Amino acid sequence: MARTFSSRRQEIVEDSPPVQDLLERWPALFDVIQVKEEFKRLTATDLESQFYSNLDKYTDRLLRLFHSKGGNAARKMNEVLILLDQDDGVDNRREVVIYGLMVYFSENAEHLITHYQHTNGDIDPDDLKDHTLKIVTKGGSTDGSPLEAGIVLEGVQVIAGLQSVPNACVILIGLMYAVNLSYPKSPRYTFEFFQKMLLELDSGKLSPRILSLKNKLLT
């Protein structure tokens, strides 16, 4: 993959082929390990460690901000924060913060994450056709079945078997760089936070909403 990086990148940027074509031509590009390697080739940044390090660094301050949220968003935020009472593990705290960010920015979490409650096997591909960019999950119910997350791009599930929503967010960001995708309209501020605050890429150009949050986190 390193040897073919230059020609692959030229093809992706100049031709903008559909994801299905990329999946057929460069299947290794959609391997989790290769996603992280491709991201590093593009940005010189360790995707996973950088994302989690800063997410964990900001977690306590973000949770305090979330708890202070008032107005119409307070009920939605409380529905997210109550999940901490069920599980205070690292992965759950990270997931709560990610959902909390979308509530904080008044973004709809369902635009990023769709949960399929009654799936015993693979999710039906016909159910995914309308998803342009989506994290899909199944399992993780009260019967003890483990959560499994996957990533859908342009109606095609390109990655499956991820073990948490935060892990899926990490790999999704990596894939967006690898296949040269732009932010969706929603949740655009959450993605900007991932890129500029957590991964510290293009961090000198912040939208007013992200700049406001950054100032609150650093004071």
Model confidence pLDDT, tens digit, residues 69-103: 888 789 999 999 999 988 888 999 999 999 999 99
Task: Look at strands 133-138 and 148-153 and give their pairing.
Answer: antiparallel
Confidence (pLDDT) at 219: 82
Confidence (pLDDT) at 52: 98
Q: What is the pTM of this model?
A: 0.93
Percentage of the chain exceeding pLDDT 70? 96
How far, in Å, CA of 203 to CA of 105, rounded? Answer: 18
Name residues whose C-beta falls within 8 Å of residue 59's C-beta, 6 or more positions apart in sequence. 93, 94, 97
26 is a domain residue:
yes
95 is a domain residue:
yes
Confidence (pLDDT) at 139: 85
Give the domain extent around 203. 17-214
121 is a domain residue:
yes
Domain count, the chain: 1
